Homo-oligomer: A and B are copies of this chain.
Amino acid sequence: MRALVYRGPKNVAVEDVPDAEIEKPTDVLVKITTTNICGSDLHMYEGRTDVEEGKVLGHENMGEVIAVGDAVDRVKVGDMVCLPFNIGCGFCKNCEHGRTAFCLTANPGTAGAAYGYASMGPYDGGQAELLRVPWADWNCLVLPDDAREKENDYVMLSDILPTGYHGTQLAQVGTGDSVVVWGAGPVGLMAAMSARIRGAAEVYVVDRQPDRLELVEQIDATPVDDSGDDAVDQVLDLTRGEGADAGVEAVGYQAHDHEGHERPGMTINSLIAAVRPTGRIGVVGVFLPQDPHAQDEMARQGRFPMDFGTFFFKGQTMGTGQANVKQYNRGLRNLIHRGAINPGLIVSQELGLEEAAEGYRNFDDRVDGWTKVLLRP
């Protein structure tokens, strides 16, 4: 089959690789119909991880089931399914309590597994024609009969929509709250959309890229442009000096200051300042325990100087980590099916699989207007 393969920093290529197939009786095989390039794929692309050469990338996957293992009870050949980016077993201590991003079985020695991702187990990704899905009865979200018609919406259930929603869940966003989201990339936009779903009264999204700020307005949130005035001050002003009730971090360790220097922690400290006392902060932007290619020693160890005194004095709460996609994907699917939300509106490019390498290059270069790239194998 054809697949997008990692060949080294800034080097990916679509190649012939052996077909994915059923390996265990609990597997199904999925013919991929849409697979996205994710902002976190760029961590690998840029050589910031230890992902092995030859890995097939792609963890935002959707497609049609074409074969099922002998022990599969629920999923049927012909089902259109969306796959959570994290792979779970369904029966470990974490999975059974809904913490499906931290499966203890799928990637022994680590809590958490994913398709086509560094340190996330031996699983190939779905930027390919075929994908093997382990523990399929647990992992597959079966889609309703408008699956093909709303494919650009449903594919967002694999990662960014539940990830954005997870940010608002960690931040306990509720009816009438004011919410600030740091970062208007795909995850930040989905967090803003999620805050609306949960009944927030005010939703602010901080970024400095004009195309992203425009999308903020399209999803009925208020853009906060931090290219000029200090974003924290702006949020404090907008919330009558009080600070937002809740905040979501959707940037991660590769935040950059106005001079273009990478400053991990900048967004976290900004949120501590911009969120009110007793406020809650959800962190879904990625931070790494080690970052060997970072510029200073502290960052290489996955550390930064956190405003912990202020964090404590304000009595804030912070939740972190990858999204437990399965906690949210059924409910969000229902909202898409009913037409209440349309997360696909952020899609900017739909490419063939053979154009994937070009997609990576442009997305990594943050070419204007390249917000969210879909591949159609």
Contact = CB atoms under 8 A, between A and B. Distances in A.
B99 A98 contact: no
Name the prevailing secondary structure of the A interface residues: loop
A330 interface: yes
Interface stretch (A9-17, A40-48, A123-131, A316-324): A316-324
Given A199-B198, A338-B202, A321 B331 contact: no
A137 to B, nearest CB: 4
A334 B99 contact: no
A159 to B, nearest CB: 15
Contacts of A278: 94, 99, 102, 111, 321
Contacts of A367: none
A25 B326 CA distance: 25
Interface in A69-120: 69-71, 73-74, 89-94, 96-99, 101-102, 105, 111-112
Contact of A201 (B287, B289, B312, B340): B340
Interface string A226-267: 000000000000000000000000000100000000001100
A287 B312 contact: yes
Contacts of A362: none
Within the oligomer, what is the number of copies of this chain?
4
A71 B24 CA distance: 7
A303 B308 contact: yes
Interface stretch (A54-62, A147-155, A174-182, A209-217): A174-182
A207 interface: no
Interface string A274-298: 0011100001001111110000001
B197 A315 contact: no
A201 B338 contact: yes
A239 to B, nearest CB: 11
A102 B315 contact: yes
Q: Which of A278, A314, A338 has the most CB of B within 10 A?
A: A278
Contact of A331 (B111, B201, B303, B306): B201
B305 A298 contact: yes
A8 interface: no
Interface of A: 24-26, 69-71, 73-74, 89-94, 96-99, 101-102, 105, 111-112, 137-138, 165, 170, 174-178, 197-199, 201-202, 253, 264-265, 268, 276-278, 283, 286-291, 298, 301-322, 326, 328, 330-335, 337-338, 340
Q: Which 7 A-B pairs have the closest CB atoms?
A: A176-B331, A315-B321, A302-B309, A71-B71, A111-B277, A201-B334, A287-B312
21 contacts: A70-B71, A73-B91, A74-B105, A90-B91, A91-B137, A94-B277, A97-B98, A99-B278, A111-B277, A175-B198, A176-B330, A176-B332, A199-B199, A201-B331, A264-B308, A268-B308, A289-B310, A290-B309, A305-B305, A306-B308, A315-B320
